[in-house]
Amino acid sequence: MTLLDVHDLCLEIRNRVRTRRIIDHVSFSVAKGEALGLVGESGCGKSMTARSLMGLLPPGAKLEGEVVFEGSDIVRMSQPELRAYRATKVAMIFQDPRAHTNPVRSIGDFLTEAQCEVGGVKRSVARRRAIALLDSVGIPDGERRLSQYPHQLSGGLLQRVMIASALASDPALLLADEPTTALDVTTQAEVMAILGRLRREHEVALLFITHNLELAAATCDRTAVMYAGRIVEVQKSSALHDRPLHPYTSGLLCSRPSIEHTERRLMVIPGRPVAAYDADDGCAFAPRCAYAEPRCRMERPRDETFDKAAVACHRAAELQGSLPTGYVEAVS
C-alpha cells in the first residue's frame, strides 16, 4: 500500500539576483513500512526534497507538483493543515541535532512541548511517555536526562533524543536527513540499529538520506539515486549494488575504497557536480559521463522500467548489465 506518492515535484527558490531551481521534476513513492534510501553528492537536492515533504521551506519558495500523503496533497494544504500533518503524520530527524534543539530549554521541554501544546496531553503523562521513549532509544535514567540541557549530552545521545522526539507523535513516515554524519562509526551503528528496530516495531515508513551507499544498502529496501535535483535511478538496494543501470550510479559504486586493493587508485568521476539550476536541457550527467552521446546533451531522458527498476538514461537498455560495480583501476 502506497503511503507517500511524489509526482513531478519542482522547487524554485528566489534570491536577490534570480530564481533558482533546486528540485527538478522528481517522482518517487514510499509504501507503508518501507525504507527508501536517497543518495547522491552534496548539493543534489536531497535535503531540500525532505524539507519539501514537510512543507519546511524558506520564504518565497515555489513548490509545484504533487506530494500525496494518505490521499491528501500537502502542496495544496493550508497552514493549519500543514501544522496538523507535521504534528501527527510525519517527523524528521535532522543531520545536526545541536542546530535543531534549543540550548536554553531542557531535554524534558524538548520532548514534552509538542505532546502538551499540540496533542493536549497532560504534562505528567507527557513526561512518563518521554521517559519511555528515551528508554526505547537506549538512554537509561530518563528522569535525570529530562532535566539536562543539550550541551550536557554527547552527539550520539542528543541524536537519540532527536529520534525519541520524532517518535513522540507516532508518525507514519520518518524522514532521516543524514542522521549519523556527525557521529563516530560505533555510535553510527548503534543509532542505525535503533532506527531499524523502531521502524519494525512501529511499522513506520522511512526516507533515509545519506552519502553512504553501503549504509543505504544495509538499511533500505530500495535506493533512489539523485543527481542535479533529479532522480536518475530507483531500484532494490541489493540489485542496485549488483547491477547499476545508470552510469552515475556505477561511478559512485566504483569510487568506494576497497580493502582488497589498498595500493591502487580509485576511479574518480570526472568533472564537477552541478546543481539543478546549472544543468543543461539534456541529461544533467552528460558532461561527466563516459557513455554520453550527442542526444544525451540535447534531450532529457525519460524514465524507463527494467524489472521493477526505473532509470533515466538514453542508453539504459544498451548498457544494462555492462556497467562496473566495484573497483576499476584508473587509467593514467
pLDDT tens-place string over residues 185-234: 887 888 888 888 888 888 899 999 998 888 898 889 999 999 999 999 99
Residue appearing with cell numbers 554524519: 181
**What is the per-residue pLDDT for 331?**
37
Q: Which of 222, 234, 218, 213 is nearest to 325 (CA)?
A: 213
Residue partners of 307: CB distance under 8 A and separation at least 6 = none
The strand pairing partners of 73, in sequence order, are 68
CA distances from 156 to 78, 127, 180, 183 (A): 36, 22, 9, 6
Mean pLDDT of 139-162: 91
Whether the CB-CB separation of 276 and 230 falls below 8 Å is answered with: yes
Question: Roughly what angle, to the nearest 10 degrees, separates helices 107-117 and 123-136?
Answer: 120
- Residues of CATH 3.40.50.300 domain(s) within the chain? 2-220
Residue 332 has pLDDT above 70, yes or no: no
Evaluate whether the domain defined by 2-220 bears CATH number 1.10.3480.10.
no
Percent of the chain with pLDDT over 70: 95
The three cell numbers locating residue 302: 525519460
